[in-house]
Amino acid sequence: MKILVLRFSSIGDIVLTTPLVRCLKKQTDAEVHYLTKDVFRPILSPNPYIDRIYSFSKGIGAVLKDLKKERYDLVIDLHKNLRTFRIKWQLGRPAKSFGKLNFEKWLLVNTGINRLPDIHIVQRYMATVQSLGVRYDGLGLDYFIPPEEEVRVADFSNLLAEGKYIAFVIGATHATKRLPVTKMAEICRKLDQPVVLLGGKAEEEAGRAILGPNVVNLCGQLSLHQSASVVRQAAVVLTHDTGLMHVAAAFSKPIVSVWGNTVPRFGMYPFYPTGVDLNTSVEVDGLKCRPCSKIGFDRCPKGHFRCMNGIKEVEIITALDIPK
């Protein structure tokens, strides 16, 4: 049996598909192929449960020719948009799609009425392969770091030793999912433990603004796999609702997750192996304007940004306390 999995973006969403890929491969011994965007291909390349990766940058026309030759027995659509609809139609093969629950999310965002099922998106992904007899194995997420991308944290600073620092993921795609820089700086200033700041090029300026004798700023200096290595070696991970949050969960790290305009009720909170829950969610409950989006905005649409400004630093600092 040959199966194609579709998920184009982004970092966290792709990491959240790894239980399905693992269970599919181990429980059916199918030949598993995966289609994603070029930029996310490195996340999947080290995964031993994927036999072949196809990717594209802009149009899907060129890759469609190769996909048609594969004659898949099943296409599993974990993205479900117009582009994946076109792929499924062009391939003309049996397909299963996960339920995006867009109406239920719209209802929560626009009316405050919660009709979302109390299950994680991983479980909704897994529902697409139930007809094959595939069941979730309870082992959580996977993230594989190539050996050449592993880092030695002590090389960055003499403050750092494995298991003795806080990894602070300061980025997120949208501003309404990020704490204000001044609040992030205040949290770091009040912490006694070493803190490593993680983020991409977009977070370099913010990283430079978060100063302190206990702070090591690595924003914009590491690849994704290298950042994952730093996360893996941390004692605890402080993070917004973003991709490295799910990478941290894949390593079963203690997580303090900070939620602004999005909410855990969307079903994309840190996902651990069965029986494990090391996440502490920090959020401002009771705001009528929250969630204001299932994704995020460049600025607070109400102008007050209470979902982040209202978070108390002491709550985060208490949750982050680790042995020295």
Give the pLDDT confidence score for residue 324 in this predicted structure. 56
pLDDT in tens, 138-186: 999 999 999 999 999 999 999 999 999 999 999 999 999 999 999 999 9
pLDDT in tens, 287-311: 999 999 999 999 999 999 999 999 9
Fold of 2-132: Rossmann fold (3.40.50)
Give the pLDDT confidence score for residue 77 in this predicted structure. 98
Q: In terms of CATH architecture, what is 147-319? A: 3-Layer(aba) Sandwich (3.40)
C-alpha closest to that of 44 among 69, 9, 1: 9
As given in the structure block, the two tokens for residue 50 are 């994927």
Peptide bond into 131 cis (omega under 30): no
Q: For residue 299, with 0-12 CB atoms within 10 Å meaning exposed, 13-18 middle and 19 or more buried, which class applies?
A: exposed
| Same fold: 2-132 with 147-319 | yes
Q: Over 70: is that where the pLDDT of 106 sits?
A: yes
In whole angstroms, give the CA distance from residue 134 to residue 128.
Answer: 9
Can you give the pTM of this predicted structure? 0.96
pLDDT-derived band at 286 (thresholds 50, 70, 90) equals very high
pLDDT in tens, 230-265: 999 999 999 999 999 999 999 999 999 999 999 999
Give the pLDDT confidence score for residue 58 in this predicted structure. 84
In whole angstroms, give the CA distance from residue 196 to residue 237.
Answer: 10
pLDDT in tens, 175-221: 999 999 999 999 999 999 999 999 999 999 999 999 899 999 999 99
As given in the structure block, the two tokens for residue 299 are 């600025």
Q: Over 70: is that where the pLDDT of 8 sits?
A: yes
pLDDT in tens, 65-86: 999 999 999 999 999 999 999 9
Can you give the residue ranges of every domain in the chain? 2-132, 147-319
8 Å CB contact between 280 and 311: no
Strand pairing class (2-6; 31-37): parallel
Whole-angstrom CA distances from 215 to 159, 196, 234, 244 are 9, 6, 14, 19
pLDDT-derived band at 321 (thresholds 50, 70, 90) equals confident
**Within 10 Å of residue 158's Cβ, how many Cβ atoms?**
9
